[in-house]
């Protein structure tokens, strides 16, 4: 053995290659530019939560229930929705609880989502008027917001595309 030359030591073990990690990072990078699949799921989950809010008359996850209808308002209302708050015709209710309704508004692009309703009189319920108390339509519990964030993160980093319950 020549004292000037070094031989590579013989090893037994495993080889670690970064190519799989780089491929995974490429997938993550691609998903970070387009969140539309998870936004569709969030819109559906929002509609579901709005249904719960209407059934509980606004009293969800620490929020106060909506102000009761006045006797004068009840006297003016007719039909099966006579005592239901914000459900005189059902148009507003459907626009917030049914993603297929033409008045359900879910506007999203690759990086943002806006959810709401196209029903014009919704704004009066949100702010209240001289003759009507304010009744907030968009109540989302902190737990649900955290769930949405978790779904977004899972979507971004999962090896396979996550299956979102209820997503068509």
Contact 82, 71 (CB under 8 A): no
Crossing angle of helices 142-157 and 19-31, rounded to 10°: 130
Asked if residue 20 belongs to a domain, the reply is no
**How high is the pLDDT of residue 81?**
67
The label of the residue with tokens 């609880």 reads: 97
**How high is the pLDDT of residue 28?**
84
**How high is the pLDDT of residue 59?**
83
Overall number of domains in the chain: 1
Give pTM, 2 decimals. 0.76
The low-confidence residues of the chain, meaning pLDDT below 70, are 1-4, 8-9, 79-82, 159-168
Asked if residue 4 belongs to a domain, the reply is no
**How high is the pLDDT of residue 103?**
96
**How high is the pLDDT of residue 46?**
93
Asked if residue 126 belongs to a domain, the reply is yes
Asked if residue 78 belongs to a domain, the reply is yes
Asked if residue 131 belongs to a domain, the reply is yes
Asked if residue 98 belongs to a domain, the reply is yes
> And the tokens for 3?
């004292």
Asked if residue 9 belongs to a domain, the reply is no
Instruction: Give the structural domain span for 99.
Output: 26-157
Asked if residue 56 belongs to a domain, the reply is yes
CA distance 54 to 88: 13
**How high is the pLDDT of residue 73?**
81
């Amino acid at each position: 053995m020549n004292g000037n030359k070094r031989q590579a030591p013989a090893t037994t073990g495993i080889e670690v290659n970064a190519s799989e990690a780089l491929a995974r990072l490429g997938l993550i990078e691609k998903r970070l530019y387009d969140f539309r699949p998870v936004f569709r799921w969030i819109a559906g989950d929002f509609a579901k939560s709005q249904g719960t809010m209407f059934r509980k008359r606004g009293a969800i996850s620490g929020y106060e229930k909506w102000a009761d209808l006045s006797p004068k308002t009840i006297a003016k209302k007719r039909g099966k929705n006579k005592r239901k708050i914000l459900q005189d015709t059902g148009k507003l209710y459907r626009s917030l609880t049914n993603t297929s309704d033409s008045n359900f508004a879910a506007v999203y692009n690759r990086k943002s989502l806006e959810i709401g309703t196209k029903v014009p009189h919704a704004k009066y319920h949100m702010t209240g008027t001289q003759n009507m108390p304010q009744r907030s339509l968009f109540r989302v519990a902190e737990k649900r917001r955290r769930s949405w964030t978790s779904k977004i993160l899972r979507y971004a980093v999962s090896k396979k595309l996550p299956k979102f319950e209820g997503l068509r």
